[in-house]
Amino acid sequence: MDSTAGAAETLDTFPKYLLANASRFAERPAMRFKDYGIWQSWNWAEQLDEVRAFSIGLAELGVRHGDKIAIVGPNRPRLYWTFAAAQALGAIPVPVYADAVAEEMAFVLDHAGARFAVVSDQEQVDKIQSFSDRIPALEQIIYDEPRGLEDYDPAMLHSFEAVQARGGEMCAADPDAARRWEEKVRAASGEDVSVMLYTSGTTGRSKGVMIGAAAAVRATFDTVRFDSLTEKDSVLAYLPLAWVGDHYLNFAQSYVSGFCMACPESQETVPQDLREIGPTFYFAPPRVFESLLTSVTIRMEDASGFKRWLFRHFIGVAKKYGEAILEKRPVPLSGRVAYALGNAVIYAPLRNVLGFSRIRIAYTAGEAIGADLFSFFRSLGINLKQLYGQTEAFLYVTVQKDGEVRSDAVGPAAPNVDIRIAEDGEVQFRSPGQFVGYFKEDEKTAEVMTQDGFIKTGDAGFFDKDGQLKIIDRSKDVGRLESGALFAPKYVENTLKFFPNIKEAVAFGHGREFCAAFINIDLQAVGNWAERNSIAYASYQELASHPEVLKIILGHVGEANLRLSREELMAGSQIRRFIVLHKELDADDGELTRTLKVRRNFIAERYGELIEALYDGSTKKYVETEVTYEDGRKGRIRATLAILDAPLHGGDQNRWREAAE
Amino acid sequence: MNARPDPARLSDAIADGAVLLDVRNVSLSFGGVKAVSDISFDVLKGEIRAIIGPNGAGKTSMLNVINGFYTAQQGTIVFRGKERRAMKAHEAVGQGIARTFQNVALFKGMSTLDNIMAGRSVMMKRNLFWQMLRHGPALREEIEHRREVEEIIDFLEIEHIRHTPVGKLPYGLQKRVELGRALAMEPTLLLLDEPMAGMNLEEKEDMSRFIVEVNRHRGTTIALIEHDMGVVMDLSDRVVVLDYGKKIADGPPDAVKANKDVIDAYLGVAH
């Protein structure tokens, strides 16, 4: 920690940290990547060599100060090196979601005016070339993986290797070239834009969030110190590189603290890679923890009776004492002994299987996380905490301290962040990493900035008595039922999504008589149940409409209503009618954002007929839905969906009904 | 499916006139049933050659004759310039012919990696003694082969199932592993028996991509049997059509598609 707090404190760009790390942590690993089944490593000195050679090669290709360089692909060392290589020239990296369909990618590349694109492989080259006529600014594409690209027109295509080799040759030919490059890095201004991150577009078109270099480093420096991250820590970078979370938690924190960042072999091998790397710092959105719990639960149900008993027993013990032990609160000796035993037979092996053996700090954010789900991981001894952040803040707005962790709040303000609640309940903040503005959209920047320099989050929330921030919902989504009762759709959806069989839910009710919902089953969980019960199905659609499945979901909705009925504010939002959808909500159809958040308004429009059917009392409804495949082709699916009535709970029931009538 | 090969490349190969495999007047019968009768066709070096035909046309029998599972009663096979009546199965492997099967034939209890390594075993030079010791030259040899196998795993994008027992994999992935095992033999001629059977659209597209890439980048000549007409017409340089054991057409996909006999064979004739 001392080393970070020393000379490195004054640095104001990431490439400056690269130079510093190459001397202070020269032999420490900076990057790992599993290739051909073996973990390849680069230390900081080698990482500097890679970045410098590529950067000089880029300059040779014509990259200048202020140019935008789009970066498209999965988590690969070369793509991460591109960030620093671009920043070293004063160019601005613009990461783009690799799974974006051509249309979305065209918008971002065009809007950013990218002159260069560094992409992973043929698939991305094809995608970009399919709309090249709409992005006249784009001059050159550089690819990492040459496979399949041999026969392409080489006029605007270059391999990463060739560009880097060119840079390497120039350094070899002229020993001054490397020195000049380093001088330029040292002389760079912290006022430059460090990175431009496009928002996922939960509401409308995505916007280019410009983050200043000095601001980015300042914010990162604060959180690195907050979590005492050092060069001895490690992470697995597996989240989309276009997302602020990946860029901040992995790239930025790695440069500032000097820790090692590992890239998985492929998206499918992440669980195995996690186990092999055993990171000390980990981030995952709630849905990843959900699916982990789902797969653990499924595997336990397939286990022998004795193992099941053992698991249930010790998870019970963990529930009772685990969190108290983690937070170093007093626990009776018998509890400690039972927990230690459980740790030996269940918790430690389970942590190992999940790749969590060495975790010191884990975060989740992005959405509310179920209390039981949150406690489950904490009780296993994993220091899981919550943070609340935004792209506009360069991530952190609030963060929970070790030992002061709860599932229903997101913590006090992060270091050096000011937060206030506006009169209408909206959360506003001012932070060291806050953005410069939206690229080419000054009026939108003005919309989210207050006169005195605070940024409006668009989220409704309040501080509870412990000083932790509680987010209720997007402030514009919080509505009221016809009866006047508060309706917070996200809260209802999260209650439903707590059940492993329910993957996604969308609640409706603003200005309506009662609350109704669309539900997506979880194919993994329900499919496994079907297998164990010898229920045959040929497709998602068939499984989702199976009478037995509907019965299960009906049970879940009933129980969700029971939970809602116990909360004073939410009792009126019990789900009276619901539909189990025939297709999974999908980002390719625009129903989810690329970060997999539900786009409620879009769904309401797209499935308008179904919503009407929910409220007009009919018991089934025929629909035709257009679906988009990943390559942009379209198809149609047809289904007749059942509309079900769920049991309602609570003494308030009658009163609520009267109020509605 | 954007997999149609470059016509220029085909004409080059034909101009070379390098015939890799020449099947001459081959007949094969089981008792009174004529599975293949008097069939002749050739496979040029570097091309993708499709053998199509309705069920029972004799396609698989033809492949079995080529790689020595069956012995033809009449006719000869010329492979790499060497003429022979029948080829023994192990000889075919030694000569550089590898194949996949209509019904996947993998070692179900072994992992993906081990299955592909097994395909490599024909190329291992050290004797069983050294291999069992896993020491010295045998170890070096194994490391070298493992590298090749890892390249195949990377090529076929099956890293995530490297250590999964093959029997647990879905069918589409098993087919991919089988292709991997055939590739591990570094064949000159790759025979694929219905590589797309039982696959969904996405799996078919992936498989088509792999076939084209094997052909282009590894320079492997491919002869394939396939039912999916879209795939055949997209992938192949030339197509030979069999019906009731006889050859009824032979030529580029477009010509074959327009051929009256072929249309009749597939759609039936009004008598």
What pLDDT digit, counting tens, does each position of A53-98 carry? 999 999 999 999 999 999 999 999 999 999 999 999 999 999 999 9
* Residue B12 near chain A (CB below 8 Å): no
What whole-number distance in Å separates Cα of residue B181 and Cα of residue B178? 5
Most confident of A209-223, B168-182, B223-237: A209-223
Rounded to a whole number of angstroms, the distance from the CA of B149 to the nearest CA of chain A is 9
| CA distance from start to end of chain B | 37
- Determine the residue of chain A that is closest to B2 in CA distance: A126
Closest by alpha carbon to A526, among A503, A507, A554? A503
- Determine the residue of chain B that is closest to A269 in CA distance: B160
Residues with Cβ within 8 Å of A603's Cβ and at least 6 positions away in sequence, in order, are A506, A518, A585, A591
Does B32 have pLDDT greater than 90? no
What whole-number distance in Å separates Cα of residue B195 and Cα of residue B100? 8
Which tokens go with B25?
Answer: 């007047």
- Residue B251 Rama label (left phi>0; alpha psi -120 to 50; beta): left
Q: What is the ipTM of this complex?
A: 0.70
pLDDT reported for residue B263? 83
Facing residue for B150 by CB, picked from A36, A269, A272: A36
Contact A591, A602 (CB under 8 A): yes
CB-based contact A266 B157, cutoff 8 Å: yes
pLDDT reported for residue B1? 38
What pLDDT digit, counting tens, does each position of A310-343 carry? 999 999 999 999 999 999 999 999 999 999 999 9
Does B207 have pLDDT greater than 50? yes
CB-based contact B159 A151, cutoff 8 Å: no
* Residue B6 near chain A (CB below 8 Å): yes
- Contacts A272 to B, Cβ<8 Å: 160
* Residue B217 near chain A (CB below 8 Å): yes
- Contacts A36 to B, Cβ<8 Å: 147, 150-151, 153-154
- Contacts B6 to A, Cβ<8 Å: 151
Q: Which CATH superfamily is domain B1-95+228-271 in?
A: P-loop containing nucleotide triphosphate hydrolases (3.40.50.300)
pTM passes above 0.80:
no
Which residues of chain A, if any, have pLDDT below 70?
1-9, 201-204, 567-569, 630, 651-661
Q: Strands A281-283, A361-364: parallel, antiparallel or unpaired by DSSP? A: parallel
CB-based contact B151 A36, cutoff 8 Å: yes
* Residue B218 near chain A (CB below 8 Å): no
Q: Provide the residue ranges of all domains of chain B, joining segments of one domain with +.
A: 1-95+228-271
Rounded to a whole number of angstroms, the distance from the CA of A303 to the nearest CA of chain B is 17
- Binding-face residues of A in 19-38 toward B, CB within 8 A: 35-38
pLDDT reported for residue A409? 87
Rounded to a whole number of angstroms, the distance from the CA of A268 to the nearest CA of chain B is 6
- Determine the residue of chain B that is closest to A265 in CA distance: B159
Residue A651 half-sphere exposure toward CB, CA atoms < 13 A = 1
Q: Crossing angle for the helix pair A44-61 and A14-24, nearest 10 degrees?
A: 140
Does B19 have pLDDT greater than 90? no
Which tokens go with A599?
Answer: 């786009």
pLDDT reported for residue A644? 93
* Residue A269 near chain B (CB below 8 Å): yes
Residue B137 burial (CB < 10 Å; 0-12/13-18/19+)?
exposed
* Residue A306 near chain B (CB below 8 Å): no
Please name each of the domains of chain A with its CATH number: 2-34+42-283 (3.40.50.12780), 284-382 (no CATH), 479-660 (3.30.300.30)
Residue B87 half-sphere exposure toward CB, CA atoms < 13 A = 27
Does B125 have pLDDT greater than 70? no
pLDDT reported for residue B16? 57
Rounded to a whole number of angstroms, the distance from the CA of A331 to the nearest CA of chain B is 42
Please give the torsion angle defined by the CA atoms of residues B136, B139, B141 and B145, in that order, rounded to the nearest 10 degrees: -170
B102 φ/ψ angles, rounded to the nearest 5 degrees: -60, -45
Facing residue for A266 by CB, picked from B155, B160, B217: B160
CB-based contact B159 A147, cutoff 8 Å: no
- Determine the residue of chain A that is closest to B147 in CA distance: A36
Rounded to a whole number of angstroms, the distance from the CA of A36 to the nearest CA of chain B is 5
